[in-house]
Amino acid sequence: MTRTALIAAMPGELKNIVVGWKHSRRKGVDLWAHRDENLYVAACAGAGQAAATRAFAAVEEDAPIDLVFSVGWVGALTADLAVGFAHNCAGVIDVQTGERFQCDAGAGPLWLATSPKVADAAEKRRLASAYPAMSLVDMEAAAVARLAAMRGIPFYAIKGISDALDAKLPDFNRFIAPDGRFQTSRFVVSSLFRPAYWPSLVRMGENSRKASQSIAETLQAFLQ
Mean pLDDT in consecutive groups of 10 residues from the start of the chain, 224 residues? 95 96 96 94 98 98 96 96 96 96 84 96 94 95 98 97 93 90 88 87 94 96 87
Of 166, 205, 199, the C-alpha closest to 184 is: 205
Task: Describe the crossing of helices 141-151 and 49-60 by its angle, rounded to 10 degrees.
Answer: 40
**How many whole angstroms separate alpha carbon 77 and alpha carbon 123?**
9
Quote the DSSP letter at residue 187: H
Q: Where are the domains of the chain?
A: 3-223
| CB neighbourhood size of 38 (10 A) | 13
End-to-end Cα distance, the chain: 15
pLDDT at position 45, please?
98
pLDDT at position 1, please?
80
Please answer whether residues 71 and 141 qualify as being in contact, where contact means their C-beta atoms are separated by less than 8 angstroms: no
pLDDT at position 197, please?
85
Of 125, 143, 131, the C-alpha closest to 48 is: 143
What pTM value is reported for the model?
0.94
**Fold of the 3-223 domain:** Rossmann fold (3.40.50)
pLDDT at position 15, please?
95
Identity of residue 86:
A
